[in-house]
Amino acid sequence: MPPDLPAQAIRLASRRAHLSAQGTTLYRAAHTTETGGLYTLEVAAEVGVLSLYAALDGREEQRLAAVWAETLGLASVYLKRRPQQARHAANVQRDWLSPQRPLLGAEVAELTAREDGVSYLIRPGSDLSIGLFTDARPARRWVREHAHGRVLNTFAYTCGFGLNAALAGAEAVKNLDLSRKVLTWGQQNYALSGVLAPDRDFISGDVFDWLTRLARRPERFDLVVLDPPSFARGKAGVWRSERDYAGLASRAVALLAPGGRVLAMNNHAGVSGSAFAGLVRAGAPELHVTETFGAGEDYPGAAHLKVLVGRVPG
């Protein structure tokens, strides 16, 4: 634990003080590059979500939560433990990794927080993921500013990209994810913004299977959003972004209308920006890269997230 923890919390909080005035109450208050790799803190309105990347005893966890609660005026603080090899632990020690009850304060099953003025339903104690990945705020903003026509949002999770495409005035938006549960959560996010969409716009199923099926249909998309996990198991076997992204890019480009665009994301820390661009080029050589960027301003020094925008000829 840093000896100057209260001063650190005040210093880091001051760097994000302007966000609420910009319509954002969902953000990262402390990133690992600012805490020596020890922890991160997500803020969702009046609730904090503390993620630990090193082992602390119970007293140290309580002190960390209490200092941040006092600094930011948080009503509750939830805890996520993120050991280096968490994939297996996530299946067998879920209650220890992500306790459903808060470390500090009253239990908050769900709440509404805002990002760039858009409201999202957050569930701080439900799992390691609370409903929205805050590092992708610039990518969602890009979609809000550029989406039009027909949009396909793959690996949709709670449909943040799809919602922003709909708010941008896109003609049609399809959200595709393996989990019906998170798609239902996404429909609740749509409802918070008063966006009406039919159930057929929320498609539950294996993304790779659906990309093959969609390629057989005549309709094409003006934007395809790719936000896959770094690792997943599916019908076709094990997916690894550092090995398999080229094939995903190829499938996405096959669904584009003339002049259509892909917004592709990779959050594997072991894949550099240049390596990611190389994977996309290998799978979709016809794609002209127009923009690249990364995580939001509340992620100083972060290099894990790579975002690439590419367009096919019109």
Residues 198 and 282 in one domain: yes
- Both 44 and 79 in one domain: the answer is yes
CATH number of the domain where residue 85 is located: 3.30.750.80
Residue 297: pLDDT above 90?
Answer: yes
Span 198-214, average pLDDT: 95
Percentage of the chain with pLDDT > 90? Answer: 88
Whole-angstrom CA distances from 56 to 79, 80, 81, 82, 276 are 12, 12, 10, 12, 35
Number of domains in the chain: 2
Q: Which residue has the tokens 């929205």?
A: 132
d(CA 99, CA 49): 11
Answer yes or no: are the C-beta atoms of 154 and 221 closer than 8 Å. no
The whole-number pLDDT of residue 262 equals 98
Residues 171 and 305 placed together within one structural domain of the fold:
yes
Q: 30 and 147: one domain? A: no
Q: What is the pLDDT of residues 242-253, one digit of tens each?
A: 889 999 999 999
pLDDT reading at 199 higher than 90: yes
How far apart are the C-alpha atoms of 99 and 220, rounded to whole Å?
A: 43
- CATH code, domain carrying 271: 3.40.50.150
pLDDT of 167 higher than 60: yes
Whether 33 maps to a domain, the answer reads: yes
pLDDT of residue 85: 60
Residue 236 is predicted with a pLDDT of 67
* Residue 211 structural domain: 134-311
Distance (Å, rounded) from C-alpha 270 to C-alpha 14? 31
Residue 172: strand pairing partners? 150
Q: Are residues 114 and 238 in the same domain?
A: no
Q: Do 222 and 141 reside in the same domain of the chain? A: yes
**What residues contact residue 260 under an 8 Å CB cut-off, 6+ apart?**
220, 221, 222, 223, 224, 311, 312
- Mean pLDDT, range 167-196, rounded to an integer: 98
64 and 195 assigned to the same domain = no
Mean pLDDT of 118-134: 95
Q: How far apart are CA 8 and CA 14, in angstroms?
A: 10
What's this model's pTM, rounded to 2 decimal places? 0.95
In a domain, 128, yes or no: no
Tokens 């989990």 sit at which residue? Answer: 179
Q: Is the pLDDT of residue 232 over 70?
A: yes
Contact predicate 47/110, CB 8 Å: no
Residues 282, 148, single domain; the answer is yes
